[in-house]
Amino acid sequence: MTFPKFLVSPRQTCLHRLIRQKKLIRQPSDKKPAPSAPAAVQENEPTCPVCREKFENPKMMPKCGHSLCESCEVKISVQDPIQKKKTLTCPMCRQAVQLNIDEYLPVNWIAKDLLALYNRGGPIKGSEHTLECSSCNEPLSEKKTFDCEFCAQRDQKIEVLICAACAFLHHNEHSSIVKRVTFADAAYKKGKIGGISRDPEEPRHEKASTLMEVNKEFDVFFGDLEKDYERVNSRLQKLGGDCPMTQKATDKESEELMKVDGVIKKKLEKLSIWKTTLWNISQLNNDERHQVYNRIMNKQ
């Protein structure tokens, strides 16, 4: 209801303006209210990058691992009837993949399982804390919480807890090592994650231990190389001192020595690689150092 201006006092006008600013009354409008967003968008659920709707039977792009709806696969497909091929370009990163005209993208089963879990469960609550996703900071639910082992190892953390949506959207490149987490008590888990820290001396001790092991292997290898060198030297001296030896025998012996010399050169090259590897290992972090050391041991 409105009143003529001459019936409204300045005080009432000021009060009315303040109420409008605080949005305590609604302004009349001829515009129709905008339709509410779909539930998937309101709840920040994973949506198809093509249709922006909730995923239905997600398909996976083979090169980049991004997903899209089964129906949207047909929308982005560009067919070449002459070559009997079709090209699909990823709507996220624009990487293209070519398939036979009768082929289809594979089903993303990991994404399908994550979507099924996304619709179940409530927030995980402890006596004092509510656990949150490390990516989006939303409360985690008991039945749709995951731990990314790749990020935990990279950041040297106990666990990196994420919700199903972030596991699907932001961790799909290493989704094969994203595992589901079972909680006994949220407050206990919160204390474990926040309170446990590695001994600052532990990385240094691990590094020293690894270097000692590599040095030991290096010494063994170098000792074998010295023995080979002494053996070749002895044969060369024998060849030079044995005058009655025929030219044919000399040539044959020289050939064998050339072969041995080639072997020694290869071992010297390997020795140089070991020295470079030893220096590089000292510059790596613990996880990378152990991986390199295991590869070296497996090649022997």
Per-domain residue ranges of the chain: 59-107, 122-195, 202-239+251-299
From first to last of the 300 residues of the chain, give the pLDDT tens digit. 444 444 444 545 544 554 454 443 344 444 444 444 343 344 456 788 899 888 778 888 888 888 888 889 888 989 888 888 999 999 889 999 999 988 899 988 877 777 776 665 444 444 344 677 777 877 776 666 777 777 766 766 656 777 877 776 766 666 555 666 655 444 445 555 554 445 555 556 666 666 677 667 667 766 777 777 788 878 777 766 655 556 677 777 778 888 887 888 888 887 777 777 777 777 766 677 677 667 766 765
Contacts of 26 (CB under 8 A, 6+ apart): none
